[in-house]
A and B are shown apart, each in its own frame.
Chain A
Amino acid sequence: MFSNPLIYFVVIPVIMLLGLYLSRSMAHIRTVAVTGSLCLLGLSIWLLVDYLGLRAAGAEGAMLYRGDWTWFSALNIKLSVGVDGISIAMILLSSIILLTGSFASWKINPLPKEFFLWLILLSIGVFGFFISIDLFTMFMFYEVALIPMYLLIGIWGTGRKEYSAMKLTLMLMGGSAFLMLSLIGIYYNAGLDSWNILDIAQADSIPHSWQYFLFPMAFVGFGVLGAMFPFHTWSPDGHACAPTAVSMLHAGVLMKLGGYGCFRVAIYLMPFAANELAWIFLILTGISVVYGAFSACVQTDLKYINAYSSVSHCGLVLFAILMLNTTAMTGAIMQMLSHGLMTALFFALIGMIYGRTHTRDIREMGGLMKIMPFLAVCYVIAGMASLGLPGLSGFVAEMTIFVGSFQETALLNRVFTIIACCSIVITAVYILRVVGKLLLGPVQNEHHLELTDATWWERTSTVTLIICVAAIGCFPNFFESLIRTTFSADIFKVIGM
């Protein structure tokens, strides 16, 4: 079991939990958190390199690094792991954000130990989810990732944190209620006595009548986490109240669980229904894209703006997935990566600004460029990434999605592609609005003049993220080919892609 590298994505966080439990001082806690996340990052980079090496050497199979360990033998539930290009991209994203998140919560207060305990527990869920290919374990990890949010927001959050934490938890659990039913339905109706995604997809044996029933539930279930309209309202409140690292991890990684799940479970396993019912969700996600963007235009709280922008961007992910073609899906995955990094960057910066000014209301701030140039420049870069400036990650992802979506000839797809394209303008509006009000112009509040610029750990956090954002933006082909390794597998021929 321990010869499989993937297992260590769960083992390392577990060791980190132990380490944290034994920690006695802030220094210990930081050491554990940073060392652990560095190990995870190193491991994921190694995995990336090794994976590409294996593929280059002609490794076949939809997933590599497969491992199966029977868990509940009676139900044939297994601890099955395996990764393809998409999972690797997501794992890489998660470890980067975990690392930067650890830096961003360098001075977390109160209860630092507990904070990191929950954060790491959350990351166990995230990593576990991405390496699993067994529906049950996947779902289990999915829920493991959800619940620490309640405490993380509730204890360390700001504002109406109790309300928001509760709303977020309940809505996400609501999604997972649908999801659980759908998973059980998939298991029984596939008739394979297997929870393994690959087996089920390969057999494609779920009766069509059942797919009509199970697909929407699975999609909605994951869609809630992916902030699909109209199930997105947890997102603004939740993000607004969450502490920095949690917002980063949640918007950066957790929301990606939704998109990934929609792709890996709903569409992968039930291609027939996906084809038949995609239009419903296309409409919903198309609305998400524009709706989130429009809503963001009038918000005054920085985190609300970003949360609505996440609704818009994550809507684009689901939107692209539903196009059911390779290009759009590649774009969706790139968008997940891109949005994950850039939104984490945003939230990190907002947290840092908030930590200094103690307000997130853009009407009360202004001219921060003069006061904290480093953070301000980073914010502008994040904004540029968000509005799709070439050279940063947002552009490649969005363009891949648009080009991919436009290859679908149905009128509905066309119309919604064009509507989704409109989001690039609206995004520009709200990003520039914030940049203009917050960073540029004269200094609004005299007291802000005494504030300081970023500290070294904050710089580490933001610079790492910016480098990643720029790397994707400048060398998209590398990531594109990584993701493409997935679609070249046989399994997609079954789906008809």
Chain B
Amino acid sequence: MNPIIPLLILCLPLLGFLVLGLLGHKMSHKAAGWYGVLSMGTTMVLAYITAATYFFSNDAAFITEAGNRLQHIIFNQDWLQFTDSLIIRLGFLLDPISALLIVVITTISFCVHLYSLGYMEGEKGFQRYYAFLQLFSFSMLGLVVATNIFQMYIFWELVGASSYLLIGFYYTRPSAVSASKKAFIVTRFADLGFLIGILILSYVTGTFDFTDFTSVQDGSSYAVALNTPMGILARFQGATFMGCSLLTWALVLIFMGGMGKSAMLPLHIWLPDAMEGPTPVSALIHAATMVVAGVYLVARLFPLYLMEEAALMFITVVGAITAFYAAVVACTQIDIKRVLAFSTISQIAFMMVSLGVARPEFHESLGYMASMFHLFTHAMFKALLFLGAGALIHAVHSNDYTAMGGLRKYMPITHITFLIGCLAIAGIPPFSGFFSKDEILSACYQQSWIWGAWMSMVAGLTAFYMFRLYYLIFWWDEPDYGHHKPHDGPWVMSLPLVFLAAVSCVAGFIPFGTLVSWNGVPYHIHIDWMGVALPSIIIAVAAIALATVMYRKKNSLPEKFAKASCGLWTAAHNRFYWDEIYLFITHKIIFNGICRPIAWFDRHIIDGSMNGLAWLAQRLSITIRPLQSGSVQAYVYIYLFGALLLGAITTACVLL
């Protein structure tokens, strides 16, 4: 494949960032905005071309005769050489998941660019906003097409930084500043794990390249690097650390990076706060693209993870707990963006669990495919929900549902599209969420009924809180909107909503299995209607019904419910006090318990000892001052004493 198009996919957003960043203040808002939209639009088209070429061209580089998809490196440029074998390269790896992701990213990004034209209209720093969006898109694209783990890390960091910049876009608002800081530092902490994981992995294998880790060997399955899967294992054998093999450590630490970006418990705390950013940003970064980077990372290294049962187990457990936790919290939040944020956490946890339960022996790792499928559908409907929320916020100038209610009359487009989003996420057929979630659930059931039941329950909660949100916004009780009745946004805002809603309606019918599977072997999805699908539909409908009862009309049921829950509701409302715990750890323990003592130690002990030396010299100088008493006889006395002592000591030393 001609490398120009992939290269352009990366370069256009970068160029956009540089142009808007350096020259943006000379441009008008309109020019800057449209430049950004066009740049992203072009990128999107190019990404579609690339993906289409990969999936449908039947080129031998991409697909074997037997129809197995291959990994293909389009270009790979040396960037930094560490040792002879450890080289960071910047390149473009095309395989099913990267092709999928570039489509997702460019689509959502384009929608957000377009949407922002309306949403951000007249904001100060409009050009800056677009520059950051472009930077983010560049970084995210670079991340997904990484040919080696270090390239991924590089873009991983860039993604974090651009997320920081975008969350803190309203930089005069202290809450935005602290949210952006929190997001950066929490993900940085996770990245530390990622980095150490990379160090361990690369030290043992002597390579960064994904293709070395996970290459197609015989057309039927991915094999692990360095000739045989056992080869790498052998290198890890014997080397254990604290009871776990090095491979486990490496994989768990790498997953830690994913936990940070994907907001898994306990590193999830930054995501709800990140909603301080402009809402389109939340849609782009904190719902559809960046937060799934963790899932993508695990998927990317999936063949490696397969070798370590413990690591996969860890992923599953973390994912399952997070999914439940986030769903419960989402039921109690007031801020609509926070509800969506927790819902995002929960949905990503779904993907993680799905990856965690995937095994080649169960249906050719159905979980892997399901996870990617859900990633795709979730990106679409979650972006839709966020953009819808953005339209609402744009209309009522508040984030809280208490300021909304009965909006279905005023904002019909938003209402319909939002409803579609809610149906999709709740898993009601024929919307896309149903299909992907169904695959995840069946993957869970294949592993163990415990996971299946657990995740079904979470799915039910999902349906409940989404419809709670839906009713509270669009039904419930109508507050006094004053003279300016809320209304739908301009077309640039509505168009993306409609488009994404349309996608959410039909995406479920994509034969996803033939495109994406863990080893490139195509595979046909079939829905287990009786075993999995029907029960889950029933659960979802029941949950929706419950939500309808509780929230459709203004009533006191929710309040009574909250009171009856013996504090559970308050705890959930306060997100189970995770933030307070973190605040305690960072402020009380790290800041006051480590940093301050160290600073004190430095000033008083280390520096004090240096000053002490000076003081000592001065002190000594004063102490010996009486020697110079001014009296000749004292001088001579010392002279004589000195001479005799000199003789005596030397004699003693020589003779003894």
Contact = CB atoms under 8 A, between A and B. Distances in A.
Direct A–B touching, Cβ under 8 Å: yes
Interface of A: 167, 170-171, 229-230, 232-234, 236-237, 291, 294-295, 297-299, 326-327, 367, 369-370, 384, 387-391, 395-396, 399-400, 402-404, 406-407, 417-418, 421-422, 424-425, 428-429, 432-433, 436, 439-443, 476-477, 480-481, 484
A294 B595 contact: yes
7 contacts: A170-B614, A298-B595, A384-B161, A406-B200, A424-B192, A440-B172, A477-B79
Contacts of B86: 327, 403
Contact of B602 (A295, A367, A400): A295
Interface centre among A404, A439, A477 (most CB of B within 10 A): A477
A480 B80 contact: yes
B606 interface: yes
A400 B86 CA distance: 10
A387 B596 CA distance: 21
Contact of A233 (B185, B202, B596, B602): B602
8 tightest Cβ-Cβ pairs between the two chains A and B: A390-B154, A440-B171, A233-B607, A297-B595, A406-B199, A440-B177, A476-B80, A428-B188
Nearest to A479: B80
Contact of A400 (B82, B177, B191, B195): B82
A406 B80 contact: no
Nearest to A237: B607
Contacts of B195: 402, 421, 424
Given A389-B157, A428-B185, A432-B181, 10 more contacts: A170-B614, A171-B610, A230-B606, A294-B598, A367-B172, A387-B188, A425-B188, A440-B177, A477-B78, A477-B81
B105 to A, nearest CB: 18
Contact of B199 (A236, A297, A417, A442): A417
A432 B187 CA distance: 13
Interface in B591-605: 591, 594-596, 598-599, 602
A250 to B, nearest CB: 18
B158 interface: yes
B185 A395 contact: no
Nearest to B198: A403
B578 interface: no
Interface string B580-619: 0000000000010011101100100011011100100000
Contact of B594 (A167, A236, A294): A294
Nearest to A398: B195
B598 A291 contact: yes
Given A297-B595, A391-B158, A425-B188, A418 B606 contact: no
Contacts of A477: 78-81
Q: Interface majority SS on A: helix, strand, loop or mixed? A: helix
Given A406-B203, A476-B80, A480-B81, A298 B596 contact: yes
B613 to A, nearest CB: 9
A396 B80 CA distance: 8
B203 A370 contact: no
A442 B177 CA distance: 10
A389 B188 CA distance: 11
Interface of B: 78-83, 86, 88, 150, 154-155, 157-158, 161, 164, 168, 171-174, 177-178, 180-181, 184-185, 188-189, 191-192, 195-196, 199-200, 202-203, 591, 594-596, 598-599, 602, 606-607, 609-611, 614
A61 B161 CA distance: 43
A387 B191 CA distance: 13
A403 B172 CA distance: 39
A295 B157 contact: no
Contacts of B595: 294-295, 297-298
B174 A441 contact: yes
A369 B171 contact: yes
B185 A425 contact: yes
Nearest to A166: B614
Given A171-B610, A389-B157, A424 B196 contact: no
B594 A389 contact: no
A442 B203 contact: no
A295 B599 contact: yes
A271 to B, nearest CB: 20
Contact of B157 (A229, A395, A476): A395
A436 B192 CA distance: 22
Nearest to B598: A294
A407 B78 CA distance: 20
A418 B88 CA distance: 20
Interface centre among B80, B181, B614 (most CB of A within 10 A): B80
A404 B82 contact: yes
Contact of B606 (A233, A399, A406, A436): A233
Contacts of B158: 389-391
A358 B347 CA distance: 51
B152 to A, nearest CB: 11
Nearest to B165: A380
B278 to A, nearest CB: 16
Given A230-B606, A403-B202, A436 B181 contact: yes
Given A171-B610, A407-B83, A442 B188 contact: no
B125 to A, nearest CB: 10
B219 to A, nearest CB: 34
A390 B611 CA distance: 40
A475 to B, nearest CB: 8
Contacts of B614: 170
Contacts of B79: 476-477
A441 B171 contact: yes
Nearest to A389: B161
A433 B177 CA distance: 10
Contacts of A234: 610
A299 B591 CA distance: 11
Contacts of A433: 181
A441 B192 contact: no
A167 B603 CA distance: 13
Nearest to B607: A233
A433 B178 CA distance: 9
A311 to B, nearest CB: 9
Nearest to A433: B181
B651 to A, nearest CB: 31
A87 B80 CA distance: 20
A161 B538 CA distance: 76
B177 A441 contact: yes
A236 B82 CA distance: 33
Contacts of B154: 390-391, 395
Contacts of A167: 610-611
Contacts of B200: 406
Contacts of A237: 607
A432 B196 contact: no
Contacts of B171: 369, 439-441
B184 A291 contact: no
Nearest to B189: A425
Nearest to A163: B611
B196 A421 contact: yes
A221 B520 CA distance: 60
A436 B178 contact: yes
B83 A327 contact: yes
A310 to B, nearest CB: 14
Contacts of B196: 418, 421
A297 B591 contact: yes
Nearest to B195: A421
A418 B198 CA distance: 12
A298 B188 CA distance: 19
B181 A422 contact: no
Contacts of B189: 425
A481 B609 CA distance: 43
A122 to B, nearest CB: 23
Given A295-B595, A390-B158, A425-B189, A442 B606 contact: no
A406 B191 CA distance: 17
Contacts of A422: 192
A157 B86 CA distance: 46
Contacts of A291: 598, 602
B199 A403 contact: yes
Nearest to B172: A442
